[in-house]
Amino acid sequence: MSIASVDQVLGKLDSPIWIVTSAADGKRGGLVSTTVTSISIVSDLPRVTVGLSKQHATLPIVEEAGAFALHQIDEKHLDWVWRFGTQSSRDVDKFEGLEWEADENGCPVLTEAIATLHCRVNAFFDIGDRQICLASVTGGNIQSDAKALGMHRMLELASEKELGILSLQLKSDAGKDRVLIEQFGKSHKVS
């Protein structure tokens, strides 16, 4: 199987869009993640893993806070993908003009999200370009029965300008991630 085939197979997956938010030491941040996975079948001990890029300003905030909030969004909040996914918390206040409140962990919760989960960090696993965060889900809310936005639908709804911005950012991020993945592979004897 060629790498192109692998890319085609993985491209068939329609990952849900999640907004990850956190706050610590007077800083707050948020990012878009498509790597949120439920990993527990024990209903009273729910856990998730989330992939957090080392490039993003939100990762050190999550590390410091030891907590984060996850948000599912619908098409109505497509603009949040661009707000949280194509800007840096180092440069802008991603929460400006949005309705939010702090959860029991001090994390910003976007009150218009269709669903939220409140998470406490259990551990981080360094995989080179990302930290995989294992977290216990301590609570959650469903605010709407609207369909959660997935990656394919997000791309269908995006304007030409937004697709161009996303393409440039992905290309830049992939270049940085490649270096980290290769370094990780060499230090962990991964081929």
Pairwise CA distance, residues 72 & 66, whole Å: 20
**Digit-coded pLDDT (tens) for 25-35:** 999 999 999 89
Q: Which residue, among 30, 51, 12, 48, has the nearest Cα to 151 in the 3D structure?
A: 12
Instruction: Name the residue ranges covered by the structural domains of the chain.
Output: 14-187
pLDDT of residue 175: 87
Cβ-proximal residues to 84 (8 Å cutoff; 6+ apart), any chain = 19, 30, 31, 32, 94
Taking residues 122-133, what's their average pLDDT?
A: 94
- In this prediction the pTM is 0.90
pLDDT band at 190 (very low <50, low <70, confident <90, very high): low
Taking residues 158-185, what's their average pLDDT?
A: 88
pLDDT of residue 87: 84
Specify the DSSP element, H or E, that contains 41: none
Taking residues 113-137, what's their average pLDDT?
A: 96
pLDDT of residue 191: 55
User: Topology of domain 14-187, per CATH?
Assistant: Pnp Oxidase; Chain A (2.30.110)
Q: Which residue, among 155, 44, 157, 33, has the nearest Cα to 84 in the 3D structure?
A: 33
Give the up-direction half-sphere exposure of residue 16: CA atoms within 13 A in the CB hemisphere.
16
